[in-house]
Structure 1
């Protein structure tokens, strides 16, 4: 145990010894005070250290955060067994060795059964306090740890997303300049037209590259402009077909995804007037498909891997829906998820994590309130029991506050852990999870 806990047990022993010495000891002698302190220290240290070591052992073997139900069951069983043994041991040392009020035979004959039962209940209340305190401390640590981890994940994802987006700017410029360079030699007039179109397209790239999602309508309009630019170079060698449903126009895709896929089609396939490359962009349920007839180039330089990989990674950071690729002997198709609403994007994840932290703080406050109630119960009820048994042992009245407060405590526990404000949210979440699995 920690030194701080041992000091607390020492002060508890001194306080308890003074209480019994001043109010329940007839002869105020040094010997009686030392005896009172020895008995108080016996119970305080045996029960405190025993339950503390038990709680530390269970925290290492079965942490609350990993197996709450299993830990609760094992804690209850171990607390009952441990405190039963500790109380009988303390009572034996107290009555047989310290006070010499009974012989070993008398102690085990049943004469002290009521005292043993009474002390076991007191020990269980103290143990409940210690384990509740341990649970609350671990809950705070776990909550803070989870929030910190979520913040790190969100920050890392944000940095990764920004890195992916920053690939688009130089990537597009590099490829466009390559096309322009080839056109200058082949067709200077087309090169001038290409330069004008390129400036218009590059403006869109600069406007959209910092966004996480854009509407399908904006992306389609940009793709058509980009196709016109490609037509300037390849003329009849490339043909583009757009068959996108109008209802999909207000939905969302990642920006510049069509441009990257169109670029891949041109880069990986040959196109001639006799064998034109046909690229089709169309809707399929809630998916935007980009399909081309397969005319692979025989000698291809190793790809930089920016295009398709970039799109897949950006989608993975924004949604659980995947980008699918279909390939056959005749065609190559990429399926992009079309999002009906903007999800919790990367830029808002840190804000959402802050809200989650506030919610976690509120939850910890509720649990702290319950355990504060439990701790008060564990302190006040034993005091009332002692007062009752000392002042009027024949008139047992402590059962009434113990039962009444106990019912209130149970209701408080149900409100915090079972039927509280979060119960409806948990039920809704479970129903939605079941529907998603179907």
Structure 2
């Protein structure tokens, strides 16, 4: 709601600004150029002011719309100093041309013999009017520039806060007593019956904790690192539950350098294990795949819901918020009678 209020407020301000510039230009160009005195009163009417206001507002809003479209389609243009200067020069030329065309139109309306010609005081007032408008436009650009800086600063602060909170929650989910209890029980059992496997279990457990701790300092990680972590994470659960969890990886090798937020796969797989019945008689296959246009990672599993467990959805909500702050993209969640599917965007570094 606040976003729409800001958009309406900015739009109203822009309309007032451009219509004000139009009225200002009309007044000075009519009063202080070579328009005959007996024709000035004809031009200084509410209808003429209204028409000029509409024209200037239309031109100004069109320039803003075009600038926004170019910025969204080619953001690198506005990070290049020379191209930014060129854009400002073009805007200044268009503004000067608008004033000149306004003066020519006014002279043509009153029947001046040479509407395209200008006397010296007419040229001087045209330039003075143009310079004042440039000053006002420059102040507007500076205001918009600093407003964008503030928005980017707030966005970055929210991203850091959300990322740290999400990583801390993911860390807690692995370090909670229930997880430690299950892991230590599995380790004790392996020490008693299979010391060699207990050593392997300890190494994987160490790998899992190391990755979780290291990921706290990163906003994105390559997909290949997440898959390596998932291998260790699944191994721990296989030792505890048996060979009843499989991961079917259909991800193309060319996409392994794409990035996702750290611990994304841990969150999605942990949800599957937490909310579904998994046993040797009812094994769980987790499918990892990708799709294009847009490029996304697909995590799919069968639904065999545990009784008495009501999903809170907090983990997926938190992941969705991280994606919105990180890249302004949404995750997609679909569910039918047999399958649960989560699709998350794959990003560039």
TM-score, L = length of structure 2 = 0.60
Residue of 300, 309, 312 corresponding to 1:300: 309
Structure 2 counterpart of 1:76: 25
Q: Is 2:95 the partner of 1:146?
A: no
Work out the number of aligned pairs and report it: 253
Structure 2 counterpart of 1:8: none
Q: 1:82 to 1:163 in 2, by over 3 A?
A: farther
Q: 1:119 to 1:164 in 2, by over 3 A?
A: same
Q: Is 2:221 the partner of 1:214?
A: yes
- In 1, are the aligned partners of 2:28 and 2:125 still within 8 Å (CA)? no
- In 2, are the aligned partners of 1:241 and 1:279 still within 8 Å (CA)? yes
Structure 2 counterpart of 1:160: 162
CA distance in 2, matches of 1:328, 1:268: 15
Q: 1:136 to 1:316 in 2, by over 3 A?
A: closer
Deviation at 1:126, TM superposition (A): 6.2
Structure 2 counterpart SS, 1:236: coil
- In 2, are the aligned partners of 1:270 and 1:295 still within 8 Å (CA)? yes
Structure 2 counterpart of 1:291: 300
Structure 2 counterpart SS, 1:282: strand
Structure 2 counterpart SS, 1:255: coil
Q: Is 2:182 the partner of 1:179?
A: yes
- What 5-or-longer segments of structure 1 have no aligned partner? 1-59, 89-116, 343-438
Alignment of 1:51-200 (within 5 A): 63=13, 65=14, 69-80=18-29, 131-174=133-176, 176-180=179-183, 183=186, 189=192, 192=198, 194-200=201-207
Alignment of 1:25-64 (within 5 A): 63=13
- In 2, are the aligned partners of 1:209 and 1:256 still within 8 Å (CA)? no
CA distance in 1, matches of 2:22, 2:171: 59
- In 1, are the aligned partners of 2:186 and 2:239 still within 8 Å (CA)? no
Q: Is 2:326 the partner of 1:318?
A: yes
Q: 1:221 to 1:74 in 2, by over 3 A?
A: same
CA distance in 2, matches of 1:173, 1:282: 29
Residue of 211, 236, 242 corresponding to 2:243: 236
Deviation at 1:125, TM superposition (A): 6.8
CA distance in 1, matches of 2:247, 2:123: 83
CA distance in 1, matches of 2:340, 2:11: 54
CA distance in 1, matches of 2:229, 2:263: 8
What is the root-mean-square deviation of aligned Cα atoms in Å? 3.9
Q: 1:134 to 1:257 in 2, by over 3 A?
A: closer
Choose 245-254 or 177-186, whichever is displaced more. 177-186
Q: 1:333 to 1:118 in 2, by over 3 A?
A: closer
- What 5-or-longer segments of structure 2 have no aligned partner? 1-9, 38-118
CA distance in 2, matches of 1:326, 1:302: 15
Higher-Rg structure is: 1
Structure 1 counterpart of 2:268: 261
Structure 1 counterpart SS, 2:316: helix
